[in-house]
Chain A
Amino acid sequence: MAVHVARDVDDATRAVAVDERAELIAGGTDLMVEINFGRRRPGALVAIDRVQELRGISRSGRVRVGAGVTYTQLLADDAGSAALREASRSVGSPQIRNAGTIGGNIATSSPAGDALPVLAALEATIVVRSVRGERRVPFAEWMTGPKRNGRARDEIIVAAEWESAGPKQTFMKVGTRNAMVIAVASLALVVDASRRRVGVALGSCGPTILRADRAQSFAAGVLDELGWERQAAPTETACAEFGALVASAARPIDDVRGTAAYRSHVLSVMAARALARVAVLG
């Protein structure tokens, strides 16, 4: 086996188990760039882009999105997460969205991966499977560093799962233009009114996706006063305070895409707008 086209998940888990050089390839939008530029030379490849089991979205109780679901699929069916749809729409271009998968984003674990702040804010669980069995990892424990995670080489990400959080959610991203852009900073905000929970997660602002705990508690306090189920706008002062708390949770660096100071600034602006936006959604 040099390149094996997997029929189903069992076939794929066996193929990666028997050949310790084997790596998975889904949409190829991360891995093929590495291969084309000679940065990675997998000794064997297992293609999983046509594994139907990985391409489903289900909403019976918990939401479950298969790892092979593409961004284009998510634009048509956002699995009940408006933030995930917004994030998917911001990815690359039509060509990239047609091929790129949420599983590939989770596996690559770039701090700039656009699906990741959404999964963090939804408190999603990542489901991985190998010939040794299945394992479920809370997103908060998934990423261990930039482009690092706890996935064993022979484990296949099969899905991401979460409890449906309702309509009060959004994703925002700042970059140098609208299309084809790696986030300079991004933010997902989820207000789960039925569970009285606020999730805030930041992308491109630290070595992993970061959560803004103090901002979450502050927003929960604001919503206690406003009424979680209502569509009522918070005051500008509350939004600004929320923005400042979100920015203070970041651990940004200066790099080619932006300075740390700029990242903190755009985070506070995005967060204030995000809170104002989601509070009136219903």
Chain B
Amino acid sequence: MNDVRLRVNGVARQTAVPDHESLLTTLRERLGLPGSKNACEQGECGSCSVLMDSELVCSCLVLTAGADGRAIETVESLGADGVLHPVQQAFVDAGAVQCGFCTPGLIVAAYALLRENPEPSDLEVREALSGNLCRCTGYGTILAAVQRASRAMYRR
């Protein structure tokens, strides 16, 4: 086992993990944060997306023991006390959530985009979300949700 310290959603956490454990498993099964989803474990679907030291990555491809000392933000850091983050609210309002399995990863990816680029073009949104798969919506409502979130966050 390896002792690891992580800063998760602003809180210092410490845990012991086996050598080969992915950050996705650690978040879900040791740290009580099941928001990041496991749909492929091979980097293809993006449902496990988190920010690691502010960069969007697939948590299924991060070796937890190698991430000792890093800062992680998961979907649980967005929205507080029953109030949705504007990105989350926009997904609800645009009807971009069907089964919901892809939603947490898409919310984190959209949030990462809108932090860097307040007014992305449609093509920029497509590029930014190209690592996230959705089997239900056909993506149209998701693209609309990101534009809605951009307006809500930056009050245009």
Does A79 touch B at the CB level, under 8 Å?
no
Interface range on chain A: under 10, 10 to 19, 20 to 34, or 35 or more?
20 to 34
Does B71 belong to the interface (CB within 8 Å)?
A: no
Q: Which residues of A contact B42 (CB under 8 A)?
A: 33, 36-37
User: Within the assembled complex, what's the spacing in Å between the Cα atoms of A83 and B39?
Assistant: 33
B57 touches A95 (CB 8 A): yes
A179 at the interface (CB under 8 A from B): yes
- B92 in the interface, Cβ–Cβ < 8 Å? no
The stretch among B6-14, B58-66, B75-83, B139-147 that forms the contact with chain A is B58-66
Contacting residues, chain A, for B130 (C-beta < 8 A): 93-94, 178-180
| Interface contact A32-B62, CB-CB below 8 Å | yes
Chain B, interface size category, equals 20 to 34
Beta-carbon contact of A94 and B128 below 8 Å: yes
A2–B2 contact, CB under 8 A? yes
Bound state CA distance, A31 and B127, in angstroms? 25
Interface contact B109-A99, CB-CB below 8 Å: no
Give complex CA distance A35, B42 in Å: 10
Given the complex of chains A and B, what is the CA–CA distance between A35 and B22 in angstroms?
Answer: 9
Per-position contact with A for B119-148: 1 when CB-CB < 8 Å, else 0?
000000001101110000000000000000
Residues of A within 8 A of B63 (CB): 3, 25, 28, 32, 35, 45, 47
Q: Please judge, given known A-B contacts A3-B19, A32-B60, A45-B65, whether A94 and B43 are in contact too, CB under 8 Å.
A: no
A3, B61: Cβ atoms closer than 8 Å: no
Q: Cβ of A96: which chain B residues have Cβ within 8 Å of it?
A: 43, 58, 131
Q: How far is it, in angstroms, between the C-alpha of A157 and the C-alpha of B49 when the chains are bound?
A: 28
A35/B131 contact (C-beta < 8 A), A28-B61, A47-B63, A95-B49 known: no
5 contacts between A and B (CB under 8 A): A3-B66, A37-B41, A94-B56, A95-B49, A99-B62
Whether B58 contacts A45 by the Cβ 8 Å rule is no
How far is A11 from B22 in the complex, measured between Cα atoms in Å?
A: 24
Chain A positions within 8 Å of B132 at CB level: 93
Is B68 at the interface (CB under 8 A from chain A)? yes
- With A5-B66, A47-B66 known as contacts, the answer to whether A36 contacts B41 (CB < 8 A) is yes
Q: Is A166 in contact with chain B by the CB < 8 A criterion? A: no
Asked if A98 CB lies within 8 Å of chain B CBs, one says yes
Closest residue to B133 on the A side, CB-wise?
A180
Known pairs A35-B20, A36-B22, A95-B43; A25 contacts B66 (CB<8 A): yes
Cα–Cα distance between A172 and B69 once the two chains are bound (Å): 39
- Highest count of chain A CB atoms <10 Å: which of B62, B66, B68: B66
Q: Which of B11-66 contact A (CB under 8 A)?
A: 19-20, 22, 41-44, 46, 49, 55-58, 60-63, 65-66
User: Using Cβ atoms and an 8 Å threshold, which residues of chain B touch A33?
Assistant: 41-43, 61
CB within 8 A of B131: which of A3, A36, A72, A179? A179
Most chain B Cβ neighbours within 10 Å, of A3, A95, A179:
A95
